[in-house]
Structure 1
Amino acid sequence: MSTPRFLDEIGAKLSELAANSPARDIEKNVKAMLGSAFGKLDLVTREEFEVQREVLAHARQKLAELEARVAELEARLGASGDAEA
């Protein structure tokens, strides 16, 4: 019956050692450095990117519609100019 208690004590000691190990400190420092570096960059979130992508798609669609309309008006203007001559 003392075996599970012994294993629990070993597990607790190993957890304590892992929490206080230099590797844990290095991990914290690296995360802090990366967080600081990314904080200085001019980055956007995925949500902001998706919104801008939708706005661009809408603008492209509207541009295509306007180009088609201008081409149609130019064709009409050219046809009426030929009819007057």
Structure 2
Amino acid sequence: MFDPKKLEQIAKQIHDSMPTPVKELGADVEQKVRQVIQGQLNKLDVVSREEFDVQTQVLMRTREKLTAMEQKLADLEQKLAQK
């Protein structure tokens, strides 16, 4: 759901900002930081950028169809009014 590279970058930034004694604990701390970040991000009610883009395209197509149908309805109403 989230870009793994971004997650790695954030985990590395947090790891780099830690005091040296904590950093010396090694990759285990970085792995735990990554797990905590991933866990918190998963709790958020968000969608991926890809899913957002897909839904935006679906909405645009739906809007185009609705506009076309509204125009057809207006044309039909006009024809009925002329009879």
| TM-score with structure 2 setting the length | 0.60
By how many angstroms is 1:47 displaced? 1.2
1:57 and 2:66 matched:
no
Q: Which has the larger radius of gyration?
A: 1
Aligned length: 61
The residue aligned with 2:14 is none
* Secondary structure of the structure 2 residue equivalent to 1:21: helix
Match of 1:34, as an amino acid? I
Query: Which has more helix, going by share of residues?
Result: 1
Structure of higher RCO (CA pairs closer than 8 Å, 6+ residues apart): 2
User: In 1, distance between residues paired with 2:60 and 2:21?
Assistant: 51
By how many angstroms is 1:65 displaced? 0.2
By how many angstroms is 1:21 displaced? 3.4
Aligned-residue Cα RMSD (Å) equals 2.5
1:77 and 2:83 matched:
no
| TM-score with structure 1 setting the length | 0.58
* Secondary structure of the structure 2 residue equivalent to 1:74: helix
* Unmatched segments (≥5 aa) in structure 2: 1-19
By how many angstroms is 1:75 displaced? 0.5
* Unmatched segments (≥5 aa) in structure 1: 1-19, 81-85
- Deviation sequence 1:14-57 (CA, Å, 0-9, x none): xxxxxx731463x5544332211111223211111111111000
Map of 1:3-82 to 2, 5 A cutoff?
Answer: 21-23=21-23, 25=29, 28-80=31-83
